[in-house]
Amino acid sequence: MADTARNPAPYTEADLSLIKRIIPHRYPFLLIDKVRDIVAFESAVGLKNVTANEPHFQGHFPAQPIMPGVTIVEAMAQTSAVVVGISLDVIDKPLLTYFMGIDNCKFRRMVVPGDVLELHCTVTRAGGKIWKFRGVAKVEGQVCAEADFTAMMDLKADG
């Protein structure tokens, strides 16, 4: 059972509807479809079903579509923002998340249409406005990308 002192909204999973209630991203920049295995203040796994219909594939690259690495890192950040939203119980509140730094970023495998991208995100520093995370993106158990990143969480008072 979740520790309700640290987990006021004990969700362990977020479908697309709940994700949209936590983070402001929308098509074409909403890069996660679901978040599972959510442990407030600790970790989660985001899921992205990669399809050929995504707009970045028109130019990256038409003859051999490859998901851009920066969008993989952004998907990790969006997964992490959902963890923060659940942890701080800010569902239906205007939480904005801003990248402050990306470190130790490496790309190890191409991500292509048809892949199911798993975004394993761990909180390495929680609390206050500044949070730090470790993200590892995988397809079928193979590491595609990894990065450490820092973000500032801004809860707007007036929406």
Question: pLDDT tens for residues 73-131?
Answer: 999 999 999 999 999 999 999 888 899 999 999 999 999 999 999 999 999 999 889 99
Instruction: Answer yes or no: is 7 within a domain.
Output: no
What CATH number corresponds to the domain at position 63? 3.10.129.10
pLDDT per position as a tens digit, 1-27? 444 455 455 799 999 999 999 999 999
Burial status of residue 142 (CB atoms within 10 A of its CB: 0-12, 13-18, 19 or more): exposed
| Mean pLDDT, range 123-141, rounded to an integer | 96
User: Whole-model pTM?
Assistant: 0.92
115 near 45, Cβ under 8 Å?
A: no
pLDDT of 2 reads 44
Residue 141 φ/ψ region, left for φ over 0, alpha for ψ in the -120 to 50 degree band, beta for the rest:
left
pLDDT per position as a tens digit, 41-59? 999 999 999 999 999 999 9
Q: How many domains does the chain have?
A: 1
The set of catalytic residues is: 60
Instruction: Answer yes or no: is 10 within a domain.
Output: no
Instruction: Answer yes or no: is 42 within a domain.
Output: yes
The tokens for 19 are: 């994700």
What is the span of the domain harbouring residue 115?
A: 16-155
Instruction: Answer yes or no: is 23 within a domain.
Output: yes
Instruction: Answer yes or no: is 147 within a domain.
Output: yes
pLDDT of 121 reads 98
Is pLDDT above 80 for 157? no
